[in-house]
A and B are shown apart, each in its own frame.
Chain A
């Protein structure tokens, strides 16, 4: 069992912040992996499989933090989640 923690910095670039739709996207992505996935953002942290915990971080555009994974496929998982952020969850930037 590989228990090394893998982490990647993320930031919210889309205008509407981390609302329900992006959170739903993160949950869907996280469910494709077996590892533990935690999002640390703006002073709080949330389980990437919990839509509620993530939206309750109330993270607006500009908020920064990191996504952390531990367990099987950790590397690929943080990569996948980080690219959702980088992509602005497919939403508008301005």
Chain B
């Protein structure tokens, strides 16, 4: 048995089999080709680079979907792979002038450049692992493989990953359900591994120095991501202690069952929790948690098939959902597409700036027949339960009125046909464009409820497209400007007694829970898997402390300053709960 110490970058407990992941060097012996083969060898190299480039593009797209922060790092790989002056040109020269084979020439040039970087001041040496990773990939292709062994893509068993540090391309294709914890030699709170672990919600202990030497694949390890301890081949007593500790932790996490869909802060402030869903199958998971109501039903997925669903199909779907959740409300958001997802069917055109273009409610106005079909289906389903309708991306009260106008005319049509619908269906709008937040007083005269879409609100307030790797790091929902809009909206709603919820990603991120509560939100809508993370956090908060935090963050200079205030708040809270 051996105990090793590191620092915790993501909390939790795990026990299992170790998998030591080699991120290290490949070694290639010197080798030459015949003069006549030189040009073929150069072409072979060019093909390997092109293949590596394609691999990286695939990885980047995958990362974009679930690892936001890693996307940009992977993006720089493509710049390395296009560097003629320092990397590609010299490799070709080594082949042409020295007759080295492509594999050795690649190895030689990349290793030389890495050595040069290591002699330069930080942060240049920290690019070396990237070069090593790219080198391994090109060499893998040259050797006829499909790049390096994809050891993290298809894990057979659940494992604790032990590594030097993980490269971003390794983590992009990680088989996430099979990873129990990360333990690394290097790294700090900003390392690739730390970012990933927090994202996945699994424990990570980093900076152990030589854990890759101390552990072999297959060893039994315990990762205590509360204390920052890793126990290699633990004795029975340590295993027993671990089990009792993890039972306690699990019990504290599992206790999440909400009475009447409500969570309470320490001072007994009620916070209503609603669910976000995009298909009917997700309702039982909400009910198991005791959630009463859906704050956001995204209808887009209904339209993602090859064929447009007709009115009847839609009506059946909405009706089933409403009946399953009855008597609790379901807030159905009408189609919220970007133009990019439509063009193949409605003949949209290329837009220079799609996020500022034809999307969401604008698209519904432009394709009114489709919009009316959806509204007919929702209204006809409405008697099945407690139905609410919400319009996305509303810019101001004029646009809301226009949407309601169409809804009213659909209602008239149904009445004339003798079709049943619930005439009391509540109608609301998303607040996700700054113009709507800034003129919320006008909207409040006509809406039945409002819901904050924090992702778009952040994107439009900060002018940051978070899917653009070049600027994604500027996407900060805690920026004081975004908080100001949320705060003003919440105060205005409170004044007139209009129900307000938050249904964006922020609402389901426990990190931001105290901020939203401090800004006056009392209804948070989130995916069911977020509930066990957010509800225990609510129980540790006190309304007065949240308010102080929110006021301080509102007055912050910039996102970094606001972030420091939030981190301090979390640190104080966790020392208090440990005492």
- A55 and B127 form a contact (CB under 8 A): yes
By the criterion of a CB under 8 Å from any partner CB, how many residues of chain A are at the interface? 22
Pick the residue among B79, B86, B120, B121 that contacts A28 (CB under 8 A): B79
Closest 5 CB pairs of A and B: A52-B86, A50-B85, A51-B79, A24-B79, A47-B85
B484 to chain A, nearest CB (A): 20
Task: Give Cα A58 to B120, complex, Å.
Answer: 8
A55 to B123, CA, bound (A): 10
Q: How far is the CB of A32 from chain B (nearest CB, A)?
A: 13
1/0 per position for B59-98, CB-CB distance to A under 8 A?
A: 0000000000000100110011011111100000000000
Does A23 reach chain B (CB closer than 8 Å)? yes
Say yes or no: B116 contacts A90, CB within 8 Å.
no
In the bound assembly, the distance between CA atoms of A55 and B120 in angstroms comes to 10
Query: Any chain A CB within 8 A of the CB of B304?
Result: no
Q: A27 at interface (Cβ–Cβ under 8 A)?
A: yes
B160 to chain A, nearest CB (A): 30
Q: Are A50 and B86 closer than 8 Å at their CB atoms?
A: yes
Whether the Cβ atoms of B82 and A20 lie closer than 8 Å is no
User: Does any Cβ of B come within 8 Å of A21's Cβ?
Assistant: yes
**Is A90 within 8 A of B76, CB to CB?**
no
List A residues at the B interface (Cβ < 8 Å). 16, 19-21, 23-25, 27-28, 31, 46-47, 49-53, 55-56, 58, 90, 92
Interface set of B (CB-CB < 8 Å, partner A): 72, 75-76, 79-80, 82-87, 113, 116-117, 120-121, 123-124, 127, 470-471, 474, 558, 560
Interface core residue of B79, B80, B117 (most chain A CB under 10 Å): B79
A52 and B120 contact, CB distance less than 8 A:
no
Contact, CB under 8 Å: B80 / A51: yes
Q: A52-B85, A55-B127 are in contact. Are A20 and B471 (CB under 8 A)?
A: no
Contacts A20-B76, A56-B116, A90-B470; A49 near B124 (Cβ below 8 A): no
Q: Which of B86, B474, B558 has the most CB of A within 10 A?
A: B86
Quick check: A51 and B560 within 8 Å, CB to CB? no
Pairwise interchain contact A51-B76, C-beta atoms closer than 8 A: yes
Closest to A27 in B: B79
Select one of A28, A49, A92 contacting B83, CB under 8 A: A49
The minimal Cβ–Cβ distance linking A40 to chain B, given in whole angstroms, is 15
**Distance between Cα atoms of A52 and B117 in the complex (Å):** 9
Least Cβ distance of B148 to chain A in Å?
Answer: 22
| CB within 8 Å for A49 and B123 given contacts A23-B79, A90-B474 | no
